[in-house]
Amino acid sequence: MSGCLSVIKKYGRIPKPYELDGEKVYIGSEVANYLKFHRDALYKQYPLLPKRTATAAEKKELGKAGVPKSMLRANVILIPFADIQDIFKGNDKKFRINPSAIEYNAADSTIPTRPNVTAVHSQISAGTHHLESIPCSTPSAVGRGKLCNREMIYRHEWHFDNSHLVENAKHEEDLVPIRLDMDIDGIRVRDTFSFNRNEQLITPQMFAQVMCEDLELPLASFLGPITQQIQQQLNAHQEIVPIDEPDQRAVLKLHIHVGNESLTDQFEWDMSNKELTPEQFATTLCKDLNIGGEFQAAIAYSIRGQLAWNQRTCAYSENPLPKVEVPLRNALELDNWTPHLETLSDAEVEKKMRDQDRNTRRMRRLVNSNPYGGL
């Protein structure tokens, strides 16, 4: 049984419980200080933890019990005694959002209901979602043009030390392309990035929690689906079989939209070359085109996604690229093999987004109708 319990670190004196109208409760701020959770981090860590605000009469009772007046001037959050005792004992999983429970046990009364949820799952097993054009990622504060102030990068609740960092650095980096595209409660979230599958410290749920804080997304609605999509794509990403034969080229295409700028490009990539990484190529391309921001990460994601797809399907390819006899292309092909960067108006951006959504729905229908889409 002890293997199912979490290790909860505590600091200082244990908080004092109070009895109000026959009910024993804890004050949320005192519990947070004891567990080293800053501000509302306790409620973000345990979104399903029952809590309520103290009434004026209850504040008077708390004042008589010795609670400082400075604490009573603001809202006082009360938490049931039994629930906090469970957290102290390490039995805190029932207060967290379990991504698998959200997906498969939607009727559970302890899980917050989320109407109008649509998420991308159909193309993950086939890997074709990496072949679509890359839209502009969701900006901070859900597009309200407001930066999110971070109190600190390091979190006390993560409890990392130097030995954990050294041990994590021993694992070889294995970057997996991740694509998020979901519409929950009228909020559209899109993003692309690469996630290290061998990461031992930062879990997909931790990443999803930080992303929700950056974009000011409600944790109860988005934490589970974001964690699900990341974990599903990590599990679906197959081991890439090393290609020993030389000159295993594939045609890669870039269709990336960031803000009002659109980048299109086409080039050949030798999958047997182990010296050049997508990140190095993206850095050089951005320097050549004098672009930055999210283009670099989006280019690296797009290359990794298309390489994974091509390496999985190269054995079934009936039309391999011919051997290169002349390294220079003729003048008639220059336009097709040259990067193009154009600035679009708002109307043109909206039209491209509509066309992309229409093409995405079409590709999903094709994948669902193809029983061999996972090859």
Q: Are 148 and 140 in contact (CB under 8 A)?
A: yes
pLDDT at 374: 46
Domain coordinates in residue numbering, the chain? 2-95, 99-318+331-375
HSE value, Cβ hemisphere, 13 Å, CA-based, for 36: 11
Q: Are 339 and 91 in contact (CB under 8 A)?
A: no
pLDDT at 157: 52
pLDDT at 279: 92
pLDDT at 317: 65
Cα-trace Rg, the chain: 25
pLDDT at 265: 93
pLDDT at 227: 93
Q: Are 97 and 223 in contact (CB under 8 A)?
A: yes
pLDDT at 112: 40
Helix (H/G/I), strand (E/B), else coil: 69: helix
pLDDT by residue for the chain (375 residues), tens digit each?
Answer: 444 555 566 677 889 999 998 899 999 989 988 887 776 778 878 888 999 999 999 999 999 998 888 888 778 899 999 999 998 888 888 888 665 444 433 333 333 444 344 444 444 544 555 555 565 555 544 445 455 555 555 555 555 567 878 888 888 888 999 999 888 888 888 888 999 999 988 889 889 988 888 888 888 889 899 999 999 888 887 666 666 677 788 889 998 888 888 899 999 988 888 888 999 999 999 999 998 878 898 999 999 988 888 877 776 666 777 777 777 888 888 888 889 998 888 888 788 778 877 877 776 676 566 544 444
pLDDT at 96: 81
Q: Are 307 and 278 in contact (CB under 8 A)?
A: yes
pLDDT at 219: 83
pLDDT at 240: 64
Contacts for 34-40: CB closer than 8 Å, 24+ residues apart: 34/10, 35/8, 35/9, 35/10, 35/11, 35/87, 35/157, 36/9, 36/11, 36/156, 36/157, 37/156, 37/157, 38/151, 38/152, 38/156, 39/151
